Amino acid sequence: MATGESTVQWRPERNALTTPETYIARYIPKGVVGYAQLATGYVQKHPTCDQELAEDVMEGMTEEILEQLINGYQVTLKNGFTFRLSFTGRLKHPDDPLSSVEEILQVRIYASHPFVERLRQSVTLERLPPSEKLPLITSTVDTVRKLDDFLNPIGALRLTGNDLYFDWEDHGGECVLEGTRSGRTVQTRFVQVTAGEVTFLPDIPTQDNPWNNEYRLSISTHYTEHGTLRTGIYSRKLRTPLTVVLNADTGILTGSAASPYVMVTGTGGSVAGEEAVRIQVVLNLHEGFLLFNLLDMHEDGVEGETVKMTANGPLTLTGFAGSALSSLGLTVNDFDALRDMIRNDYSGRLVDVLYVQPGV
């Protein structure tokens, strides 16, 4: 990461207006530069110019731009900036009088396209840590299946981020998996713990119902010997695989609810032996419908055909090329709750891993 005078600094900040929680990149100015500093920089590049003269010229240019705007002109500086006036407010009728100048007159300043392009081509960004130092988990991946945010009972979960290190052996912090309905376990089987990466074999707490397969992940640590315990919570939720036996009703695609939003029904499914697949539901944010389909176990892999749902009811998903699962029958029990969960907690896309077994 670049550091120094030639960089533009920014830091991630929580965006309180979004659900689920997201972050914005906040520009952090290093300071404020005025006429004196601009003149100094100009003189260093043009030693024949006098410092005082350079300042006078810059101040004079500002006054000249103001005068041209007062006279009703737009000022355009080639490859630099455009200064123009604009009005705010509305008129109900074309012959209505304007409000006072103080209320309606604004000055707009725009950077030219060449200026912006030169800036973008030359700038180097420097990321600063959050204003309050906290463990920041930016991603998780199962090291066996290579799937993001998948909590595999027989795999290892690798976290990446910033300021993650904690001393779990001397009780200097902890890593916790907590079910969104019930259950909480402090993790103890670590492969690696560094500031940028943590890998562990997950000890997954059992929840009240088999379809409650949603978990929160957090890391807590002390950054100094007597410092306050700081906790960082991963912004996305993790999900464990679900075992589905055909010809037996099984709940899937649910959060912490006491009743499943979707059921794999007792009829309408066929599989040749045990098969691992993923089921995906995507929300159309504009029209509110849901698209269901089956996926293989690889990111950006093979997909089955999508089925559109707009309300509660049955549906049948077909398998995909190379899958032993030819079809899977489902019933949507609570369309509204499923849609709201996908919108609020999963950024419009929910995926469950299913281990499908033949029925008896």
Identify the pLDDT of residue 149.
97
For 119-162, how does the pLDDT look when each residue is reduced to its tens digit (9 = 90+)? 999 999 999 877 778 899 999 999 999 999 999 999 999 999 99
Cα gap 333→261, rounded to integer Å: 5
Instruction: State in words which class domain 136-239 has.
Output: mainly beta
Q: Which two tokens stand for residue 18?
A: 């979004």
Cα gap 3→202, rounded to integer Å: 37
Least confident of 68-72, 142-146, 270-274: 270-274
Identify the pLDDT of residue 267.
58
Owner of token pair 């920041």: 136
What SS3 state is found at 128? coil
Which whole number is the average pLDDT over 57-83? 96
Model confidence, pTM: 0.69
Cβ contacts of 57 within 8 Å, gap of 6 or more:
none
Confidence of residue 269 (pLDDT cuts 50, 70, 90): low
Confidence of residue 2 (pLDDT cuts 50, 70, 90): very low
Question: Cα separations (Å) of 341 from 11, 138, 186, 192, 338?
Answer: 29, 21, 26, 33, 5
**DSSP assigned state of 36:** H
Identify the pLDDT of residue 31.
86
Which whole number is the average pLDDT over 184-198? 96
Cα angle vertex 29, ends 26, 35, to 5°?
A: 145
What SS3 state is found at 226? coil
Identify the pLDDT of residue 360.
66
Torsion of CA 188, 194, 200, 205, to 10 degrees: 60
Q: What are phi and psi of 272, to 5 degrees?
A: -95, 85
Whether 255 shows a pLDDT value over 90: the answer reads yes
Whether 274 shows a pLDDT value over 90: the answer reads no
Which whole number is the average pLDDT over 196-222? 97
For 43-57, how does the pLDDT look when each residue is reduced to its tens digit (9 = 90+)? 999 999 999 999 999
